Amino acid sequence: MSAAAAMRGISMTGRARQFQVADFENYDLILAMDKDNYLDILALDPRQQYRHKVRLMCEFATRHQIQEVPDPYYGGREGFEKVIDLLLDSCEGLLEYVKSSL
């Protein structure tokens, strides 16, 4: 993924971590990459008081119809390229969503 991102001038400096229950309180928007992660996050909110904060990343895509970010590992180099295209599209839509919400 880092190599595919670097070809587009994108630096991959972040790192992943496990979702924590405190994140419901600490963040306004929680993005899941696929439906399994989405459901896992919602399961940590049994009273459903934070459900409105949890969204799928692909909900913000405007040029792609796919509903989940696929695991690029099994698609070779092309799989990573497709995921980056999908995430760039989703990030553009997310930025518009955030701007319109302010």
- The closest of 66, 95, 63 to 79, measured between CA atoms, is 66
Cβ-contact 24, 50 below 8 angstroms: yes
Task: Give the whole-angstrom CA distance, residue 47 versus residue 45.
Answer: 6
Q: pLDDT-derived band of residue 73, with 50, 70 and 90 as boundaries? A: confident
Alpha-carbon separation of residue 17 from 8, 20, 23, 59, 71 (angstroms):
25, 9, 11, 22, 17
CATH of 2-101, one of 3.40.50.300, 3.40.50.720, 3.40.50.2300, 3.40.50.1860: 3.40.50.2300
Mean pLDDT, residues 31-41 taken together: 98
Mean pLDDT, residues 65-73 taken together: 94
Sequence ranges of the domains in the chain: 2-101
Mean pLDDT, residues 51-67 taken together: 97
